[in-house]
Amino acid sequence: MYKKLCGIDEAGRGPIAGDLVMAGCILHNRVDGLDDSKKLTPKKREFLYELIIKNASFHIVKFSAKDIDEFGISLCITRGLREIIEMLPCESYLFDGNSKFGVAGIETMIKADGKIPEVSAASILAKVTHDRDIIELGKKYPLYQLEKHKGYGTALHIEMIKKYGYSEIHRKSYKLKALEITLFSS
């Protein structure tokens, strides 16, 4: 007998600016073309995002740079996993990766986002949400050219931080080797 599965993935764990976005997804109908969001073009991700939201139950959780600085990335992920379980009752939960972050009732699988449709769908929901949010932040903070690097610590982003300093959307607890400083909240 088939067990209903809620796939869970995140986007934005590594960037130095913007939100961490987590998504849980239970597919009600088959969606063709699903894969790890990183393997899809932005256009394909957007197309699949619309199909997923029409054919699934889902929940998206966001943690700001301030949340990440205050609580740490691991605690944010733990809270996100718990919220998804609470909001999407299901028979089983599968989180992409190798850590349950201390949350009971979930299983993990490395590279599940490329193997399991529900996790692929969650990956796409999280990535599209993250990238849309970053583009909006780019309009509010044009000096950082966020649309070009999606908040990651690229040479361009580091150059912009050196030139303009940090904004409220930067994760001040992340250490940047390129700047040889740790960002602390003042």
Quick one: tokens of 92? 């089983």
Give the predicted TM-score (pTM) of the model: 0.92
For residue 183, the SS3 value is: coil
How much is the pLDDT for 38? 93
Write down the pLDDT at residue 185: 41
Residue 182 has pLDDT above 50, yes or no: no
CATH number of this structure's domain 5-182, picked from the four choices 3.40.640.10, 3.40.50.720, 3.30.420.10, 3.30.420.80 = 3.30.420.10
Q: What is the pLDDT of residue 60?
A: 98
Name the residue among 110, 126, 119, 135 with its Cα closest to residue 59: 126
Distance CA 154, CA 178 (A): 10
Is residue 186 predicted with pLDDT exceeding 70?
no
Residue-wise pLDDT tens digits, 137-179 = 999 999 999 999 999 999 999 999 989 989 999 998 887 766 6
Share above pLDDT 70 across residues of the chain, in percent, rounded to a whole number:
93
Residue type at 17 in one-letter notation: A
| 150 closest CA partner among 125, 177, 169, 122 | 169
Domain positions in the chain are 5-182
What tens digit of pLDDT does each residue of 54-84 get? Answer: 999 999 999 999 999 999 999 999 999 999 9
Q: Do the beta carbons of residue 88 and residue 7 sit within 8 Å? A: no
DSSP character at residue 48: H
